[in-house]
């Protein structure tokens, strides 16, 4: 089903409600934004709406109630957007109460305002944090939709990074307002669809990091549907595959995995190795802290592996993986090779990231840590595409249906059938 683009929606001098994902990493001490990648990536849609002299109210989230450190108002985002756009983006510390409604009523063509952080509303988070299973049509009764929808002519969603959230601000306005998706939505979907459906071959997936449920969710799908020719495992994912293939990595690793419930992934890893023996690679050597505290490396075949942790891969693994990356037609990256924030353990991530940036293949980087590693170790422009999404990207590549995509498709169906907001 075709999803409508904002260029196909009547927005000239109209009042537009725009849902963005400008959720940004925050320094826990200063509460300042440390990376404005998502804010910058939202600019093309905003610039288009300014050109169209639309009156735009932005709704967005920052942090969530499970992580209070990042749950802050959107004032800073408004300031950053004002700087980047070279025009005032006002901030109203109210999501949909009288102050927000007044601000929207007074909004003139060409003006922009950001309303309060939607994550301060229980109804926005209950659907995923407390599993209150509301369908999009039922969400039209929520306070945010009842209060804001009557004030607007149209709704645009350019928040692909939150596409996995079945929240009213993401999926319910489509039920009551003519709607479309913004340009970042289409950029993200087409980069990921290319990796998934028609990747230039050979297609290599570098999967690592500590969130191994992400890596495993994706692995099942890209191995079984043939998207991945080779999977290079690093980080904790790499350790799990070593254990699955019968290596013993000592009590430090065993305890680390057990404490986090990650030992549950050893059995699935064993099954993948049995089903796809030629398509999954794991590290040949690992880095560890030597007696004097410095970095040391050891082969995984050694009889005298240390009992601690292995915060990075070793240089033989880097060399072998670099050779695969250099020949790849597509390289998809999610999850660093080690604890790259510490210089002692940065080698694996640094050298692989630089190799990917220099490789001729089509490269897609996704996930917060992988994007940070890209800016840290190489020029992000050398990657073919940097995805703003984390959780949404993983679910998309795992073959799961995303609530936002379902909502946008439903909007198109309603338009064709002349129902919902299109009923005459
Ligand atoms: C993200 O950071 O992945 C998106 O902004 C969605 O945030 P969430 O995982 O808190 O819903």
Our answer on whether the CB atom of 45 is closer than 6 Å to any ligand 1 atom is no
Our answer on whether the CB atom of 163 is closer than 6 Å to any ligand 1 atom is no
Euclidean distance between CA atoms 314 and 296, whole angstroms: 9
Q: Is the pLDDT assigned to residue 131 strictly greater than 90?
A: no
Our answer on whether the CB atom of 162 is closer than 6 Å to any ligand 1 atom is yes
Q: Mind listing the domains of the chain with CATH numbers?
A: 6-185+401-422 (3.40.50.1260), 201-360 (3.40.50.1260)
* Mean pLDDT, range 155-165, rounded to an integer: 97
Q: Is the pLDDT assigned to residue 69 strictly greater than 80?
A: no
Query: Considering the entire predicted model, what is its pTM?
Result: 0.91
pLDDT for residue 86 = 98
Q: How far is the CA of 35 from the centre of ligand 1 (A)?
A: 15
pLDDT for residue 1 = 63
Our answer on whether the CB atom of 214 is closer than 6 Å to any ligand 1 atom is no
Which strands form 230-233's sheet, in the order they lie side by side? 280-281, 230-233, 203-207, 330-334, 362-365, 385-386
pLDDT for residue 133 = 85
**232-257 tens-digit pLDDT:** 999 999 999 999 999 999 999 999 99
* Mean pLDDT, range 349-354, rounded to an integer: 98
Euclidean distance between CA atoms 404 and 385, whole angstroms: 21
* Mean pLDDT, range 220-230, rounded to an integer: 95
Which band of pLDDT confidence, cut at 50, 70 and 90, is reported for residue 59?
very high
Q: Is the pLDDT assigned to residue 132 strictly greater than 90?
A: no
For atom 9 of ligand 1, which residue has the closest CA?
Answer: 391
* Mean pLDDT, range 260-271, rounded to an integer: 96
Closest by CA to 397, choosing from 373, 366, 371, is: 366
**281-339 tens-digit pLDDT:** 999 999 999 989 999 999 999 999 999 999 999 999 999 999 999 999 999 999 999 99
For residue 103, how many other CB atoms are within 10 A of its CB?
19
Our answer on whether the CB atom of 390 is closer than 6 Å to any ligand 1 atom is yes
How distant, in Å, are the alpha carbons of 44, 115, 227 from that of 224? 36, 43, 8
* Mean pLDDT, range 180-206, rounded to an integer: 97
Q: Is the pLDDT assigned to residue 67 strictly greater than 80?
A: no
Cis peptide before 202 (omega within 30 of 0): yes
**Token pair of 382, please?**
């050398």
For atom 6 of ligand 1, which residue has the closest CA?
Answer: 162
Backbone angles phi, psi at 314, to 5 degrees: -90, 175
Which band of pLDDT confidence, cut at 50, 70 and 90, is reported for residue 350?
very high
């Amino acid at each position: 089903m075709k999803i409508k683009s904002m260029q196909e929606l009547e927005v000239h001098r109209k009042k537009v409600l725009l849902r963005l994902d400008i959720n940004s990493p925050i320094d826990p001490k200063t509460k300042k934004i440390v990376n404005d990648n998502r804010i910058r990536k939202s600019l093309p849609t905003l610039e288009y709406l300014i050109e169209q002299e639309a009156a735009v109210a932005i709704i967005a989230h920052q942090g969530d109630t499970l992580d209070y450190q990042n749950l802050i108002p959107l004032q800073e985002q408004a300031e950053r957007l004002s700087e980047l756009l070279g025009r005032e983006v006002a901030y109203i510390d109210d999501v949909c109460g009288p102050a927000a409604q007044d601000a929207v009523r007074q909004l003139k063509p060409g003006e922009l305002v950001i309303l309060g952080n939607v994550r301060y509303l229980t109804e926005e988070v209950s659907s995923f944090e407390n599993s209150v299973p509301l369908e999009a049509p039922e969400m039209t009764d929520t306070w945010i939709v009842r209060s804001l929808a009557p004030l607007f002519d149209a709704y645009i969603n350019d928040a692909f990074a939150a596409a996995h959230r079945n929240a009213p601000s993401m999926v319910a306005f489509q039920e009551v307002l003519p709607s479309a998706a913004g340009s970042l939505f289409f950029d993200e979907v087409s980069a990921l669809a290319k990796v998934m459906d028609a990747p230039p071959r050979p297609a290599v997936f570098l999967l690592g990091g500590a969130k191994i449920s992400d890596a495993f969710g994706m692995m099942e799908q890209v191995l079984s549907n043939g998207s991945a020719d080779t999977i290079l495992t690093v980080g904790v994912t790499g350790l799990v595959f070593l254990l699955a293939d019968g290596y013993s990595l000592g009590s430090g690793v065993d305890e680390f995995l057990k404490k986090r419930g990650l030992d549950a992934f050893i059995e699935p890893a064993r099954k993948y190795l049995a089903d796809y023996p030629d398509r999954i690679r794991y590290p040949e050597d690992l880095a560890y802290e030597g007696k004097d505290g410095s970095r040391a490396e050891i082969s995984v075949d050694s009889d005298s592996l240390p009992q601690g942790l292995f915060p990075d891969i070793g240089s033989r693994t880097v060399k072998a993986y670099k050779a695969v990356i250099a020949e790849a037609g597509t390289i998809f990256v999610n999850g660093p090779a080690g604890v790259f924030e510490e210089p002692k353990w940065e080698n694996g991530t640094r050298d692989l990231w630089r190799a990917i940036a220099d490789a001729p293949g089509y490269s897609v980087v996704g996930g917060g840590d992988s994007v940070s590693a890209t800016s840290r170790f190489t020029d992000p422009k050398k990657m073919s595409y940097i995805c703003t999404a984390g959780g949404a990207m993983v679910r998309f590549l795992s073959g799961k249906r995303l609530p936002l995509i379902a909502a946008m498709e439903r909007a198109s169906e309603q338009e064709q059938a002349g129902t919902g907001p299109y009923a005459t």
